[in-house]
């Protein structure tokens, strides 16, 4: 026993000498270091390190960023990286992210300190975008490899990648090719250098060769581990969003603060009601307040019982549930006009348990200011003193309560705390109505509303309105007034082409608009060929970024031509083709989305305020958070909290939320998970690799760079 204690003390003596720490009394249990659950991100201002930082932000994982371009940045030395706490060695960072394999000058003391730190504490390093070369475990691309664009290439996760950090993917990693004139992905494809301990995790075919070149791989050398990434990316590209989870899991060993899941929810507004139809000659929608030609009779679009059967079968085939936002007066009017008959309502009510239901107000009335529709666009009416005329509290109460009562009488499975007003009215709408209707919050109190839908394009941040918290919803560019693909394409042309091409001129007046068309779409093929792929990519991008906010369409889009389904199929089928069975889409109802967003915001605020302390010692993870804070962590399967199983399984890990009482939360990892150990070493490990030039900082179009010899 004495011999073991002496060996540990000698190892600690070597450690303190190497790191320049103050030596303290030797204790047997200090052989297990404390590893703080925080990542060090060293950035050169390029898109790759910024993308990884954005992923850490989205997940809720704390990090410290050192900007190499700043003259006031801290020096990365032994004291910056490690110290002791209560006599125990502490690594301040569980992982290091560098812009490339060595962004420092020749003989850099900072790179030497990083190399020593990584060896001592078994800290992994991510090379965010680096040149393929022997110093990174790869042959240079001129030795049978490739340097250039890989736009449109379909890379593959290797067997080692599936068994390791990218096991949540089925295998395919498609690289975007959204523009024929813009280079979107530049890469170095290469094979492992002779004798290098290098394992490719993601690779792609080398053009003109039968070989596969590594895009992401692990290089082990000199007691260190590096994740070597040899393609450039930004945080919005699909290929990064697919791989970002694996990058975080690799660098943290699956033990980190924060959690990430992929969500998708679809709200279908105006159910039981009918939506007015776009007029391709008038370029407006008869029946809408902004269509002043009263000589044209509206031609409403309304679902049929056959559309309900189709929706139910579609849901079952995709293991997905739609949220139906209903207006009861639509059925009441239908029965009044048809001798008490409403086959659509009868069918929906009979199949009510196939869907989730949300109160969308009784008549879909506008609940903000009283509108003056004699002008286009409409404006708010004013009182003699110039103040805004508001829709009254009694009217808002009526719309909410009457629709709730109608739904309850029909047996709809409601959560009465959820509400989405017609057009999100009552909430501020710029430019006409810059403030919420002051009568809205009292009416929400009257009706027990806790979650209130808002338009993410106008009101993207969750906020409090009386007793309710908003749930921002993404509008899909599948228009409410289109039941056929040709109508959708015609309206799209009107909105997004120039006046000279017969359009509205919105793009000319607003140059920042990103959906503008160079030429009008073919109304026969434009929806399927252009709009569907674009809307699919946008929605799937939200899914892959872990954003739980719901998307919304309208019942008209499930009727007639059923034009919503190609987009929804693109998202769901596209997702299934990419992800393994243990990483399913999470399909939440509105109140659960609101809760998730609320907890994330509070967690992010606590992390940024420095109120969270977390570290690992051996098989124990300790998290300290303020009382009332919901804590989120990702840990290996089999982890326990207070003797009970923690969290739920997702993507090969266990994650979830748990409330803090203000005392330390102690998680126990399964015995199969190896703990980092302090390693004594000599000064030879501190020799920094040869220098190289920085990665180009462009975000969209990338060019190659040449390393220094």
> How many CB atoms within 10 Å of residue 551?
23
Instruction: Determine contact, residues 353/322, Cβ cutoff 8 Å.
Output: no
**Residue among 109, 73, 74, 84 at smallest CA distance from 27:** 84
pLDDT tens digit string along 389-402? 999 999 999 999 99
Q: Lowest-pLDDT range, 249-253, 442-446, 692-696?
A: 692-696
Per DSSP, the residues of 130-146 read ---SGGGTB--TTTT-E
Confidence grade of residue 204 (pLDDT, cut at 50, 70, 90): very high
> How many CB atoms within 10 Å of residue 80?
18
pLDDT score recorded for residue 677: 65
Instruction: Determine contact, residues 51/630, Cβ cutoff 8 Å.
Output: no
> Which phi and psi angles does 219 have, rounded to 5°?
-115, 120
Give the predicted TM-score (pTM) of the model.
Answer: 0.91
Strands 34-36 and 613-617: antiparallel
Distance CA 32, CA 677 (A): 6
Distance CA 68, CA 621 (A): 32
686 or 322: which leads in pLDDT:
322
Distance CA 433, CA 429 (A): 5
Tokens of 175: 């690289």
Tokens of 708: 């220094």
Q: Lowest-pLDDT range, 23-27, 43-47, 571-575?
A: 23-27
Distance CA 389, CA 381 (A): 6
Confidence grade of residue 64 (pLDDT, cut at 50, 70, 90): very high
pLDDT for residue 60 is more than 50: yes
694 or 670: which leads in pLDDT:
670
Instruction: Determine contact, residues 483/556, Cβ cutoff 8 Å.
Output: yes
- pLDDT above 70 covers a percentage of the chain that reads 91
pLDDT score recorded for residue 7: 34
**Residue among 120, 122, 81, 115 at smallest CA distance from 101:** 115
Burial (0-12, 13-18, 19+ Cβ within 10 Å), 14: middle
CA 653 → CA 545, 577, 589, distances in Å?
18, 21, 24
| Over residues 6-32, mean pLDDT | 42
pLDDT for residue 18 is more than 80: no
pLDDT score recorded for residue 511: 81
Intra-chain end-to-end CA distance of the chain, in Å: 52
pLDDT tens digit string along 332-359? 999 999 999 999 999 999 999 999 999 9
Residue with tokens 């269509």: 291
* CB-based contacts of 191-199 (< 8 A; 24+ apart in sequence): 191/138, 191/139, 191/144, 191/145, 192/137, 192/138, 192/139, 192/217, 193/134, 193/137, 193/138, 193/139, 194/139, 196/134, 196/137, 196/138, 196/221, 197/137, 197/221, 198/137, 198/138, 198/228, 199/158, 199/160
Q: How many residues does the chain have?
A: 709
- Sorted by sequence, the CB contacts under 8 Å of residue 279 that are 6+ apart come out as 285, 286, 291, 296
pLDDT score recorded for residue 550: 98
Confidence grade of residue 680 (pLDDT, cut at 50, 70, 90): low
Residue with tokens 């190659």: 704
Q: Lowest-pLDDT range, 21-25, 86-90, 274-278, 457-461?
A: 21-25
Instruction: Determine contact, residues 636/249, Cβ cutoff 8 Å.
Output: no
- Sorted by sequence, the CB contacts under 8 Å of residue 414 that are 6+ apart come out as 357, 358, 359, 404, 407, 408
Strand partners, 620: 617, 668
What is the DSSP code (8-state) at residue 109? H
pLDDT for residue 504 is more than 80: yes
Radius of gyration of the chain from Cα atoms?
A: 29
Distance CA 186, CA 614 (A): 37
Confidence grade of residue 12 (pLDDT, cut at 50, 70, 90): very low
Strands 172-174 and 414-419: unpaired
Q: Lowest-pLDDT range, 54-68, 71-85, 525-539, 689-703?
A: 689-703
Distance CA 572, CA 565 (A): 10
pLDDT for residue 673 is more than 80: no
Residue with tokens 């690594």: 91
pLDDT tens digit string along 487-497? 999 999 999 99
- Sorted by sequence, the CB contacts under 8 Å of residue 451 that are 6+ apart come out as 417, 418, 419, 468, 469, 470, 471, 590, 591, 594
CA 544 → CA 65, 266, 548, 579, distances in Å?
24, 16, 10, 11
- pLDDT above 90 covers a percentage of the chain that reads 86
Residue 92's SS3 state is coil
Tokens of 528: 């399927």
**Residue among 331, 317, 223, 234 at smallest CA distance from 273:** 331
pLDDT for residue 188 is more than 70: yes
> How many CB atoms within 10 Å of residue 603?
22
pLDDT for residue 137 is more than 50: yes
């Amino acid at each position: 026993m004495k011999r073991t204690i002496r060996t540990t003390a000698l190892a600690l003596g070597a450690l303190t000498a190497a790191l320049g720490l103050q030596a303290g009394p030797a204790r047997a249990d200090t052989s297990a270091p404390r590893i703080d659950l925080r990542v060090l991100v060293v950035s050169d201002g390029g898109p790759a390190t910024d993308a990884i930082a954005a992923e850490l932000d989205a997940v809720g994982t704390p990090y410290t960023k050192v900007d190499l371009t700043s003259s006031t940045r801290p020096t990365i030395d032994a004291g910056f990286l490690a110290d002791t706490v209560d006599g125990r060695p502490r690594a301040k960072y569980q992982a290091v992210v560098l812009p490339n394999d060595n962004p420092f000058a020749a003989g850099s003391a900072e790179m030497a300190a990083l190399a020593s730190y990584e060896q001592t504490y078994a800290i992994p390093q991510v090379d965010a975008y680096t040149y393929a070369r022997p110093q990174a475990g790869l042959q240079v691309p001129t030795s049978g490899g490739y340097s250039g664009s890989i736009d449109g290439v379909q890379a593959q996760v290797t067997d080692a990648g599936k068994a390791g950090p990218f096991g949540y993917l089925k295998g395919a990693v498609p690289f975007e090719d959204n523009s024929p004139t813009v280079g979107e992905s530049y890469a170095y494809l290469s094979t492992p250098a002779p004798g290098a301990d290098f394992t490719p995790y993601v690779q792609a075919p080398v053009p003109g060769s039968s070989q596969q070149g590594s895009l992401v791989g692990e290089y082990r050398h000199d007691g260190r581990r590096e994740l070597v990434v040899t393609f450039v990316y930004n945080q919005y590209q699909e290929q990064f969003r697919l791989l970002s989870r694996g990058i975080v899991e690799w660098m943290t060993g699956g033990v980190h603060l924060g959690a990430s899941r992929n969500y998708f929810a679809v709200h279908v507004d105006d159910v039981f009601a009918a939506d007015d139809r776009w007029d391709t000659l008038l370029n407006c929608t008869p029946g809408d307040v902004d269509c002043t030609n009263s000589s044209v009779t509206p031609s409403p679009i309304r679902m049929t019982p056959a559309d309900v059967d189709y929706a139910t079968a579609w849901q079952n085939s995709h293991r997905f549930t739609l949220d139906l936002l209903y207006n009861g007066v639509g059925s009441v009017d239908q029965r009044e006009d048809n001798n008490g008959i409403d086959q659509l309502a009868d069918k929906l009510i009979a199949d009510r348990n196939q869907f989730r239901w949300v109160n969308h107000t009784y008549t879909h009335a506008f609940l903000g200011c009283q509108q003056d529709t004699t002008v286009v666009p409409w404006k708010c009416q004013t009182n003699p003193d110039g103040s805004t005329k508001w829709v009254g509290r009694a009217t808002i109460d009526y719309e909410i309560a009457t629709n709730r009562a109608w739904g309850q009488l029909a047996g709809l499975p409601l959560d009465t705390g959820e509400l989405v007003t017609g057009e999100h009215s009552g909430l501020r709408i710029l430019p006409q109505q810059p403030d919420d209707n002051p009568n809205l919050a009292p009416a929400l109190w009257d009706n027990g509303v806790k979650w209130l839908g808002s338009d993410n394009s106008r009101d993207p941040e969750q906020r409090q309105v009386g007793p309710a918290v908003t749930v921002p919803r993404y509008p899909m560019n599948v228009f409410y007034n289109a039941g056929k693909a040709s109508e959708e394409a015609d309206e799209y042309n009107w909105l997004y082409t120039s006046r000279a091409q017969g359009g509205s001129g919105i793009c000319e007046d607003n140059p920042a608009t990103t959906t503008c068309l160079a030429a009008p779409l073919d109304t026969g093929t434009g929806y399927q060929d252009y709009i569907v792929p674009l809307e699919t990519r946008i929605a799937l991008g939200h899914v892959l970024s872990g954003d739980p906010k719901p998307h919304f369409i309208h019942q008209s889009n499930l009727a007639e031509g059923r034009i919503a389904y190609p987009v929804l199929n693109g998202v769901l089928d596209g997702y299934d083709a990419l992800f393994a069975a243990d990483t399913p889409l999470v399909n939440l109802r509105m109140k659960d989305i609101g809760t998730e967003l609320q907890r994330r915001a509070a967690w992010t605020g606590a992390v940024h305020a420095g109120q969270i302390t977390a570290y690992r010692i051996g098989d124990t993870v300790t998290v300290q958070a303020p009382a009332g804070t919901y804590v989120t962590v990702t840990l290996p399967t089999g982890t326990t909290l207070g003797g009970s199983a923690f969290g739920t399984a997702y993507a090969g890990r266990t994650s979830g939320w748990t409330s803090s009482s203000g005392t330390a939360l102690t998680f126990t990892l399964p015995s199969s998970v190896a703990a980092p150990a302090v390693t004594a070493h000599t000064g030879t490990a501190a020799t920094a690799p040869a220098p190289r030039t920085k990665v180009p900082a462009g975000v969209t179009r990338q060019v190659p760079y040449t390393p220094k010899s």
